[in-house]
Amino acid sequence: MSMLAYAESATSSSSDTEPDAQVDFTTMLVQRQRGCESGSKLHTTDADQEQQEQDQGYYLEQYVLGVLDFSSQYGIDYSISYTASNVIGRPTKFPAYGDYPETFTMRTYGDWWQRAPSATRDIQPQNMPPIDTHDYIVVYFEEFVVPTEVAIFETFNPGAVVRIWAYSMTKHWHCLWEATAKDLNYLCHDSRRFAPPLKKTSIITKTLRIEFNHSNLNYYTEIDAIMLCGRTVSHRRIQNLLGKARAHSQTQISLAASALGSSSTALAVGHGPISCKLRSLKFQPICRSDNNADADPVTGACKKFINDFINNDLSQFLLDNRLANEMVEQQQQQQLQEMQLTPANVHAQAAARRICLTDLPFEILLKILSYLDLQSLFRVGQVSRIFYDISTHPLLYVEINLKPYWQLANSELLCTLARRATILRKLDLSWCGGFGDVSPTEFKKFLTQRGDNLTHLRLNSCKFLNASCIETVGIVCDNLNELSLRNCATDPPLLNFSCLVNLKNLERLDLFQTAFETELLLSMLEGNRKLKHLNLAFCGVSVNMDNVAAHLANYNTQLVSLDMWKAHFLTARGLQSLSHCHQLEELDLGWCLREASLGDGLYQLLVNCPKLRKLFLSAVRGTTEHDLRHIAQLGKNLEQLDLMGILNITHERVYDILIHCPKLQLLDLSFCENIMDRDFDILADWSRLFKVNIKSSRIYDPR
Amino acid sequence: MHSLNWTSRVISRALRSSFSTLLETATNRTGNGSVKSSSSRSPTPTPQRPHFVSVVCGFAKDNLRHKYKPGKYGEDSWFKASTEQADVMGVADGVGGWRSYGIDPGEFSSFLMRTCERLVHCSHFNPQRPVNLLAYSYCELMEQKKPILGSSTACVLILNRETSTVHTANIGDSGFIVVRQGEVVHKSEEQQHYFNTPFQLSLPPPGHGPNVLSDSPESADTMSFPVEDGDVILIATDGVFDNVPEALMLQVLREVEGERDPVKLQMTANTLALMARTLSLNSEFLSPFALSARRNNIQARGGKPDDITVVLATVAI
């Protein structure tokens, strides 16, 4: 009897042809019961009953057990204030609303960082989805479930969540929910439990990825907890699926082309009947107008014109053309009947009159296809030989951005791209390769083949990077202008390889949240005299910032932007060294200096760097009233000023600054206890009067 | 500046011993059928394992000014936490001198204790190093947006369930007493710079650093000792130790040895706190404070009005 029951279960599970189990509980239960009843009832063993109970599963709500990855956080790694680890466990502050340190906060908000001098342009911008992702966090839970609800507890400035992904047991990411423009316009000043309607799915998961977009936010958003609700699945089933997934991954041949060519949902591996695939193939070009191009009215207008034409009128144009051709054909046929030419001739003549896309010159087609995003480009290549030849032309692969396709990027894709991208200049592999999809060897091969002309390389949050990858970067890509290695914090630090010193042309170096050896950084600074943008936020406690500042003063006087958020060991001496960089437009000294007194440092800086547009002095508690006076006097070009948590601020100084800094757009006065005591509305009035966005958040202390 | 250097040293040491608030990544974690949580939030251990039965009582110095808030008694503050590995208790006494500078002394001690409580549940909590707990809690102060100033003493006690040992760390004049079979077996030492100026963790306002007494957590007095079933442990701030003579305390504590009923324990804690309160307001009584003042050539008499915090626990194995 027991054999029958197991056999029953075996057939039911093997009837799932797709790796993602179609878990139909009712049918399963009915089958079990039938299986039990078909045998003798007397022989029902305990094992069967257990199995029945196990297979039924139960509804489970669970909170985060651990954090696997995040793109940025406000606090520093070893702290528990404003860091990603606060997402773990039950919500501590919800439903209270306020700026609490026991929550997860990200580093940026609004579009202020896009307006700053250090803002970067997207590589291959047409790849970007309409609602971009700025930050993400990957969390895991304890039990595997079939997700029915994901609730996110937001305790400050809600409304930043844009996508929820789940990682199924078949090693694929599935998008459970995606925001529309309407969702982003949520402006409410109250904490909320955000549980959007998820797609109906039957995947089994315990890892989630939440993506955020801050552009509409007034201030930082803070997340207290994440809850995953769903039905559990029996352990036996999980083991079965794991076994099948392993076998499956060994035998599958996942071509990168097919991965991008087919629809981006569960059937990414190219399974399923061909008719399904054909049905889901849609040629819908995503023509995004480049923001910078709008500055030039001619190209901007042209692009807009082309956008409109392709989206609205192309189909009509082709239809009209076909009709026109048909009319011409009819005329010809009439002429034929009059002239009695042979049908073959007519056919040839008629054929000659038909205009189709492939008749356009190669360069025009190339130009048309250059507006396509990468996914559409791969799909176009599947249309015909001609289109395949055009779509694989190297000129279309000068800039490659795989960040919006992070869930699809794998080693095979890199291989395919390596064949096509012979004149690659800009490469963005940010966020790709988590969970071992991209192998370091493949990446190194790619770089060695195609990396010598690279000018921009972005490898933010790439988990596959190891020591030899960085070495390859250093050796191969010596024309690099921009190197971005954000969030590569590993132990031991990656950047202790002298190969990176080979890079001599760097203008932008981004080491946000990445550990590095001070010696290496100093030698890189010495080598790259043209360095303009340097980001050393969260660089850790082992770096002596005074030394770095001294080097900057000596070797990198062209520096335009510098970010030293939460750097330790910066003193007034370092600040004075920084004043040698006369081109400085952006300086972020948040949480540096701590209680140390600034001395003359800030004054020297303001005098010697008149172009300063963005100055962040968050929690630089040593700022005195004199310093604030100097800011007002000398900060003529200041656009963004952050004075959070500074104790000695008075209303007079704030007024001073507002009057004397005509270009000021952002003034952050949160947690300045002195001015909070008085009437809150004064700040609101000034904000309106001077047209400055004044932030004044604080912990709302319930008394 | 001194505190700045010191904290950086601690942090770099911690980082070298590879600690991070993020759990170690595991690309194979998603493959596992079941994941064992390292420090679960559910506190109740199995009855066989050693644990504290603990209660708290106290009085603020001026009941009228301070509305009762859980976790604090006036400027004093306490916390209790327990995980699978350990039971932790602690008290902190805010130094009152800051009030004249416009700083609320209770904020510092309260923050210290709340953060200790949160840190106990972190993955990097080491049940054998209470000094680390204090140190990290102190570091957290500097990561707060809201500027928290002031200073306080602190005393933290951890019972490690595996080994049935208690590890303690004490800075300043708060302290603890362990009573076994009617005798005091362990007692903390009072740390003072000079009379009525105990060792203290402090965060001075910017610019006043050199003028303010600030001790690093490394100067804490640490002790580790094994405990047996029925031991009575009392952690209290100086409001108790300065007002209640040791013999009297011993008399009270001797009676709860081996007591597992929290209600009875609470009654004893209440008694002790009330005793301390009454004696502190008595202007004739020769309290331990008065005696030590006289040793320092100060003619004093009577109790010392102060906040009183009593954390009383018995060890149950």
**What is the distance between the terminal CA atoms of chain B, rounded to a whole angstrom?**
45
CA pair distance A141, A208, nearest whole angstrom: 8
Instruction: Please indicate whether residue B238 or residue A496 has the higher confidence score (pLDDT).
Output: B238
CA–CA min distance A90, chain B (Å): 9
One-letter amino acid for residue B13 of the chain? R
What does chain B come to in residues? Answer: 317
Quote the pLDDT of residue A276: 65
Quote the pLDDT of residue A436.
84
pLDDT at A10: 38
Contact (CB<8Å) B18/A491 = yes
> Closest residue of A to B35, CA-based?
A142
Interface of B with A (CB under 8 A): 1, 3-4, 8, 11-12, 14-15, 18-23, 25, 27, 29-31, 33-35, 37, 41, 115, 118-119, 121-122, 136, 139-140, 142-147, 203-207, 209
Kindly report the number of other CB atoms within 10 A of residue B292's CB atom. Answer: 16
Residues of chain A with pLDDT under 70: 1-56, 245-273, 275-304, 310-311, 323-325, 328, 332, 335-353, 489-497, 676-680, 699-703
Nearest residue to A559 via CA among A535, A543, A541: A535
Using CB atoms and an 8 Å cut-off, which of residues 640-659 of chain A contact chain B? 644-645, 647
Average pLDDT over residues B129-148: 90
Question: What is the percent of chain B where pLDDT is above 70?
Answer: 84
Contact at CB, B20 and A140, closer than 8 angstroms: no
Position A239 scores a pLDDT of 78
- Name the residue of chain B whose CA is nearest to A76's CA: B143
Instruction: Decide: A220 and A155 in contact? Cβ < 8 Å.
Output: no
Residues on chain B touching A79 (C-beta within 8 angstroms)? 21, 139-140, 143
- Which of A76, A80, A594 is nearest residue B118 as measured by Cβ atoms? A80
Q: What DSSP character marks residue A516? A: B
Number of Cβ within a 10 Å radius of residue A568: 23
- What DSSP line would sit under A9-62, residue for residue? HHHHHHT--SSS----HHHHHHHHHHHHHHS-GGG--HHHHHHHHHHH--EEEE
CB-nearest to B147 from A75, A491, A647 is A647
- Which chain B residue has its CA at the smallest distance from A544's CA? B8
Query: Please, are residues A460 and A487 in contact by the beta-carbon 8 Å criterion?
Result: yes
- Burial label for B162, CB within 10 Å (0-12, 13-18, 19+), is exposed
B27 min Cα distance to partner chain A (Å): 5
Q: How far apart are CA A5 and CA A581, in angstroms?
A: 77
Q: Kindly state the average pLDDT of the residues B232-241.
A: 92
pLDDT at A400: 93
* pLDDT tier at B47, thresholds 50, 70, 90: low
Write out the two tokens for B251. Answer: 């008399």
Domain boundaries, chain B: 49-316
Q: Could you count the other beta carbons within 10 Å of the beta carbon of residue B46?
A: 8
Model pLDDT, residue A279: 62
Residue A358 confidence (pLDDT): 80
CB count in 10 Å sphere of residue B299: 7
Sorted by where each begins, the domain ranges of chain A are 59-237, 361-396, 398-505
Kindly determine whether residue A142 and residue B115, on different chains, have CB atoms separated by under 8 Å: no
Closest CA to B197 of B215, B228, B163, B172: B172
Nearest to B30 among A167, A596, A622 (CB): A167
* Helix (H/G/I), strand (E/B), else coil: B87: strand
Which of the two residues, B36 and B93, has the higher pLDDT score?
B93
Cα nearest neighbour of A235 on chain B? B33
Q: Which residues pair with A668 in a beta bridge?
A: A642, A695
Q: How far apart are CA A22 and CA A29, in angstroms?
A: 14
CA distance B250 to chain A (A): 39
CA gyration radius for chain B?
Answer: 20
What's the mean pLDDT when you consider all of chain B? Answer: 83
Strand A640-642 and strand A614-616: the pairing is parallel
Cα-trace Rg, chain A = 30
Neighbouring CB atoms inside 10 A of B120's CB total 23
Q: Give the whole-angstrom CA distance, residue B307 versus residue B69.
A: 14
Token reading at A134:
């700025």
Q: What number is the ipTM of this complex?
A: 0.81
Between CA A684 and CA A676 the distance in angstroms is: 12
CATH of domain A59-237: 2.60.120.260
Q: How far apart are CA A306 and CA A302, in angstroms?
A: 6
A60 in B contact zone (CB under 8 Å): no
Task: Please state, in angstroms and rounded to a whole number, the distance separating the CA atoms of residues A193 and A151.
Answer: 6
Predicted confidence (pLDDT) at residue B45 exceeds the cutoff of 70: no
SS (H, E, C) B113-126: HHHHHHHHCCCCCC
- Report pLDDT for A234: 80
E strand or H helix at A224: strand A222-232
Contact A84/B at CB under 8 A: yes
Asked if A599 has any chain B CB less than 8 Å from its own CB, the reply is: no
CA dist., res. A160 & res. A98, Å (int): 16
pTM: 0.79
Closest C-alpha among A558, A488, A617 to residue A117:
A558
Query: What is the C-alpha end-to-end distance of chain A, expressed in Å?
Result: 68
Q: Is A78 within 8 Å of B3 when comparing Cβ atoms?
A: no
CB–CB of A499/A470 below 8 Å? yes
By the 8 A CB rule, do A575 and A593 touch?
Answer: yes
pLDDT digits (tens, 9 = 90+) for A614-662: 999 999 888 888 899 999 999 899 999 999 988 878 888 999 999 999 9
**Better-scored residue on pLDDT, B143 or A265:** B143
| CATH T-level topology, domain B49-316 | Phosphatase 2c; domain 1 (3.60.40)
Angle at A367 between CA A397 and CA A401, to 5 degrees: 30
Q: What is the pLDDT of residues A455-510, one digit of tens each?
A: 999 999 988 888 888 888 989 988 999 999 998 866 566 666 677 888 899 999 99
Structure tokens at A611: 């172009």
d(CA A420, CA A441): 19
Q: Is the CB of residue A517 less than 8 Å away from at least one CB of chain B? A: no
